[in-house]
Structure 1
Amino acid sequence: MANLIVTGGAGFIGSNFVHHWKKVSPDDGIIVLDALTYAGNPANIAGLDGVELVQGDICDTALVSRLIDAHDVDTIVHFAAESHVDRSITGPDAFVTTNVVGTHSLLKAAKAAWLDKGSGKPHRFHHVSTDEVYGTLEPEDPAFSETTPYAPNSPYSASKAGSDHLVRAYQHTYGLETTTSNCSNNYGPYQFPEKLIPLFTLNALSGRKLPIYGDGMNVRDWLHVDDHCVGIERILRDGRVGETYNVGGGQELPNIEVIREICRGVDAAFAKDPTLADRFPDAPAAQGRSSEELMTYVEDRKGHDRRYAIDETKIRGELGYAPARDFPQGFAETLHWYLQNEDWWRPLIERAKLGQ
């Protein structure tokens, strides 16, 4: 039996990981440490046995130390981060504080508990990062591997790169047992509706514009969050200490094709279920029209990286990881979840309208 702290465990990827871990290791104890800022939601983990939610800041090293000691924690899975690139462009300070200073705070507490006290206790600090630390790729460039030089282009990716380096340094200098994963773009249940897939899905249901940056040809690799959680589980159980593993979905797609798949999926759902027209009367699909009529091109984002792609050879070869879904299947599952959980996302939309 293990005892875990999952930082950011009330957010999107973190909460999905908590659900996943309780399925595969139901006897393990989980402390979710989450500041419950705008993207954290206690409802994401409500009703899970053996999960305790602690509202707190990862920058509070004393709090983290108390939690490690009080719960005999041997594993920290670190998801907590500011992660929206657009927000990092207009307000980078919060990204440096949370992603760099916060990660260092956790590392200090982990080192103090697991190394400085001399217990020799087996432990693991797993750091969840992003493929954006590698910068951008040209169309013919090989995909990012674990040896690709870092070249972050936004305040968000620069702050994540800094945190990656700190984790590596604590392993190399002090012997802290760490692993890091760099993932591609995630999607799936519980994703806060500022990111592309939930935003465009809910806009299509509400008849709002689908704003496409630039020419829509920026390419990303898409990873269903459940597949990501499986990858993290493999790393925690069998990953080599001190190593980095890239986790991808094997679905390299331009944004415009992702958006068209969203439109196709929404239109097909309305055609299959006539009751959706009553629930979402403002959707073009409610009148038998195509959701694609909502697509509109807008000025490109500053510093918009052109292409990301993940080479996941290492995690496939060493740990037997492989994503279980292609994008059409994964999005179909995601759309079904959002249609079945309007009571989860509707209050978030209403709060956003009120500027809260």
Structure 2
Amino acid sequence: MLLALTQGDPAGIGPELTLTAWLERETRGCPPFALIGNPDLLVKLARELGMDVPVVSCDWDDAELRFSDGLPVISLENHVVAPPGRPDPASAAGTIESITRAVAAVRQGKAAAVVTNPIAKSVLYQAGFSHPGHTEFLAHLAADGKDTPLPVMLLWSDDLAVVPVTIHVPLSAVPGLLTAELIVETGRIVARELATRFGIAQPRLAVTGLNPHAGENGALGSEDAAVVAPAIARLQALGIAATGPYPADTLFHARARTGYDVVLAMYHDQALIPIKTIAFDEGVNVTLGLPFIRTSPDHGTAFDIAGKGIARPDSLCAALRLAARMARHEAQVVA
């Protein structure tokens, strides 16, 4: 089983995390992967960091066989120029090409899943990138000229899994964007893919309220009774084990976590603060709702430490392991 790993922003920590993941592949249990990137950049960086990592230029047909000999790299057509810590919009085309080719490899059966290194959206915007971010671009690639699927962001660790129903929007915009339909569709996708890609036969969804104390019977806001509770009832009518709405401040302690498999939170920080507190280094970003598996480290490009050899590969290795696990479960379901 081979995974397609994107380069991310070449000036960020993605390249050195990739080198470290290959170097520590056995102790960290990393499955075989091939990086879509610039072999020369990897060779130069490995030399500068004193890493004994042979870089092997190859194609998809022999990448998995070469994994034990060195880091397999599928060469980009676009030139990559950005040195560590110095992002350059001139490298944006290579970053985008890496993502596009990783998706194509999975959809063509050459790889089992996409794992993405971190990108810097601001750098891509300077080069004319028109999508809000990684997830939206992946949904665009999944559309193939048809309806764009609803991408759902799952943050996963062994101790906690969370899904923000609304994601990268101002807090002031959340009440207007939050609808029962959005909660129901998000819950349906989560329940389906926890079953097909995580092997959880009957996923238990705990749903937070939007307001403090889940609205306190309307005293602290009407959305929980008017929007969230009806959405939960609709999910239950579909046979999904959804409960709530719960006050978010009581939902994430150790005892509470034994009662569910995933939390549907109403906005970004309501979901991400607890998981980054509990599993900052091991959390994995998973995009649900796509016709292919995509995982990513739950951190950014960290330009300030890029090229210094101090970035931790924990989250990337966790993303690689989880992608392989999801691919195995999905293969069993299809079989």
**Which bin holds the TM-score, normalised by the shorter protein?**
0.3 to 0.5
TM-score by length of 2: 0.35
Taking CA–CA contacts closer than 8 Å with sequence separation of 6 or more, which of the two structures ends up with the larger relative contact order?
2
TM-score by length of 1: 0.34
